[in-house]
Amino acid sequence: MEMAERWGESRLLEDKQALEYAITKGRGSLWLKLTPEEYAKLR
């Protein structure tokens, strides 16, 4: 949840509840936009 909030995702209560529900059910994903340097650090 913190990641979604940091990147300006919607903060409506309904949206937050939907995201929390999806996470608890093992659904949903998060795409990261990384620079080549950031990606290299992950490896």
Average pLDDT value for residue range 1-30: 75
Contact between residue 19 and residue 28 where contact means Cβ atoms under 8 Å apart: yes
What does the domain layout of the chain look like in residue ranges?
2-42
Q: 33 or 10, which is more confident?
A: 33
Only one residue has tokens 């937050």, namely: 16
Rounded-to-integer distance, Cα 20 and Cα 15, Å: 9
pTM as predicted: 0.43
The percentage of the chain sitting over the pLDDT mark of 90, rounded to a whole number, equals: 21
Rounded-to-integer distance, Cα 28 and Cα 31, Å: 10
Going by pLDDT thresholds of 50, 70 and 90, the confidence category of residue 6 is: low
Contact between residue 15 and residue 9 where contact means Cβ atoms under 8 Å apart: yes
Rounded-to-integer distance, Cα 8 and Cα 29, Å: 16
